[in-house]
Structure 1
């Protein structure tokens, strides 16, 4: 835990009692703060009360006595409308901040030079965060990984000069961290996302850009216009990352054909055979990780060893089994077309399991990749709409359930004459029509594959 000593003796309001909210309450109390915590969910407040948290309805509180409102990242700050606690905080003239802001203030107070790596981007940030942490840990460094990837930042060990915090940050978390100042800020990419929470794409990009704007050093993927503009606006040290053959004069790291290259064109690492880092998007992740760990003093030999031993993340192009020539891949995290695109570009002769609760636009943007698909197996609520998109382009079977789809795809892939047919669960949909979460969907797929005859 990182006790929040910077609020010792002060009274704060906290709203949102999920996992990070409870961790924040404990860290504030450990640091000597007086915390009144609340949540709109009776289930959440009851769970917090059972854990010894002082629960108090903030509707009835005297807000003039609070020093700050600590807000959970899932609670609306601006769009579609500010949460009622945000309105009360503004009326009282107190700041609205999140748990990573508390960490940033604690770092400045305790160990201002402590390494703090913050990673954001629309896609790839979890894999990149885990990859950086893995390389550092493999090289024997003291690494603390958390934030949006799982462990709440205040549940991690406190900042220290020889301890590296590797923190994934969503746009929601950046928005609640006004003094964000990582020693190394990473921006992977920007595509439209969460516009219901940020209003416009320009606002969303501006929030993402704040992570690298306040960083001592930055690493920025420059393959989209918005990220490239953010890199151009920086005045501090910045390493650019490009996927493809760079133009003359490019002075960053590049990745193409499964190899990461130095600024002078020298190969750094060949990723061939690293199943957890397939596809151009993962080549970018590897190049970003290389630039990051090099900046932290990791040798190229340690970098290569860490990249080659990276196991990947569950539900993100996770290789769950091989049966003969057939590879089974769990990409349940792909809840929209943009995410599924990454998987489709990484394989050929794909037996594609897709469907669920569709996002806007469905799978229409994936049409240029349909030639990689041998057969599609449709499940869930989106089946009819996806069938209409696939009609005349890709043979498909309406399967209804994941169990039926997995069995049919496995049978067809086994009969394929391809060198490595792939059964790919990459739904391009939310999971909530048939599953509790994308994790539940991926776990069920993994179990179905393991149970195949």
Structure 2
């Protein structure tokens, strides 16, 4: 835990008592703050009270003596409408912050030079975060990984100069962190997302920019227009990252990820990604380039970084290789809940037996049409079956399987009989899971179990 001593002796209101909210309440209490916490869920309030956190409906609180409202990132700050607790805080002229802001203030107080690597982006941030942490751990560094991935930031050990914090941040978390100042800030990419919470693409991009604007070193992907504009506005130390399949020799001041490798500005290869199953495809080459830049920034050699890349196991449900039967590779990409994510998986393989479907997102799979030539057969499950069949018609043969339990054996049998040298059975649904599964993790776990049970 990182006790929050910067609010010692002061009253702090807190709304949102899920995992990170409860961790925040305990960290504030451990640092000497007087905490009054609340949640719209009675179960969450009861769980906090059982941990000796003082609870009470903030609508009845005396806001005149409250120093700050700490808001959980899942609670609306601006759109579609501010939560009622936000209105109370603004009326009382009380600052509204999140748990990452508390960490940043504690770092400034305890150890301003403590290494702090912060990662954001619309896609790829979890893999990049885990990859950086893995490389550093393999090199013998003391690493604390958390934030939007896994562990709440205040549940981690406190910052110090010999400890590296590797923190994934969502736009919701950045929005609540006015003094965000990582030693290394990574912005992977920006595509439309969470616009219901930010109002417009411009607002979403501006929030993402704040992570690198306050960083001592910024590492920015330049393959999309919003990120490229952010890189152009940057006046401090900057490493640009691009993904391209073009030939060498094109001038570029930064790192280039192409052909299963990473190249420096002079065109020299600085990382070899060939044969690393957990880092297939251009999007993962990009992730590796970002990880290399971050690891270099905290003192690792390219040799140590290469060793970490080679041993990276990948993350569950993100192009996870779950098994092989003869020449058939089985890949769990259940985290791909929209077409943009599935595009990365389809681009990484050929001879694909593609399991897809669930609760469809806007746009369906139409954006994936240019990649249909990589698909040998599609297996439809869930509520999106009719809509997806209409898109596939005449371009990709498909089978309506309805449920995953029927799709996996059908795909396995057809892939094995295809005669292709390396066929792939790929679960990359391009859909939310909520029609048949409570979340993408349960869906991916079920796929993994079905593959292991094929015999």
TM-score bracket relative to the smaller structure = over 0.9
Aligned to 2:389: 387
Question: SS where residue 108 of structure 2 aligns?
Answer: helix
Structure 2 distance, partners of 1:247, 1:77, is: 47
Question: SS where residue 442 of structure 1 aligns?
Answer: helix
Question: SS where residue 109 of structure 1 aligns?
Answer: helix
- Runs of 4+ in structure 1 deviating by more than 3 angstroms, as ranges, are 245-249
Structure 2 distance, partners of 1:31, 1:51, is: 15
Check conservation: 2:357, 2:384, Cα contact below 8 A: yes
Check conservation: 2:251, 2:265, Cα contact below 8 A: no
In structure 2, relative to structure 1, the CA distance for the partners of 1:450 and 1:29 (3 Å cut) is: same
Unaligned segments of structure 1, at least 5 residues: none
The CA deviation at 1:51 is 2.6
Aligned to 1:343: 345
Structure 2 distance, partners of 1:255, 1:148, is: 25
Unaligned segments of structure 2, at least 5 residues: none
Structure 1 distance, partners of 2:392, 2:432, is: 19
Q: 2:323 aligns with which of 321, 324, 345?
A: 321
Aligned to 1:170: 170
Aligned to 1:274: 276
Q: 2:403 aligns with which of 386, 401, 404?
A: 401
The CA deviation at 1:50 is 2.4
Structure 2 distance, partners of 1:298, 1:252, is: 18
Structure 2 distance, partners of 1:376, 1:50, is: 50
Aligned to 1:83: 83
State whether structure 2 residue 401 is matched by structure 1 residue 419: no
What are the Cα deviations for residues 59-108 of structure 1, in whole angstroms up to 9, with x where unaligned? 11111111000000000000000000000000000111000000000000
Structure 1 distance, partners of 2:20, 2:119, is: 18
Structure 2 distance, partners of 1:92, 1:212, is: 31
Aligned to 2:56: 56
Aligned to 1:305: 307
TM-score, normalization: structure 1? Answer: 0.99
Give RMSD over aligned pairs. Answer: 0.8
The CA deviation at 1:262 is 1.3
Aligned to 1:216: 216
Aligned to 2:412: 410
Matches within 5 A, 1:236-255: 236-244=236-244, 245=246, 248-255=250-257
Aligned to 1:203: 203
Structure 1 distance, partners of 2:64, 2:279, is: 52
Aligned to 1:180: 180
The CA deviation at 1:432 is 0.7
State whether structure 2 residue 14 is matched by structure 1 residue 3: no
Check conservation: 2:377, 2:396, Cα contact below 8 A: yes
What are the Cα deviations for residues 205-261 of structure 1, in whole angstroms up to 9, with x where unaligned? 000000000111110000111001001101100000011147743110101110111
Aligned to 1:355: 357
Question: SS where residue 313 of structure 1 aligns?
Answer: coil
Structure 1 distance, partners of 2:249, 2:15, is: 49
TM-score, normalization: structure 2? Answer: 0.99
Structure 2 distance, partners of 1:378, 1:52, is: 49
Matches within 5 A, 1:121-200: 121-200=121-200
Structure 1 distance, partners of 2:267, 2:148, is: 34
The CA deviation at 1:150 is 1.1
Structure 1 distance, partners of 2:444, 2:64, is: 47
Aligned to 2:29: 29
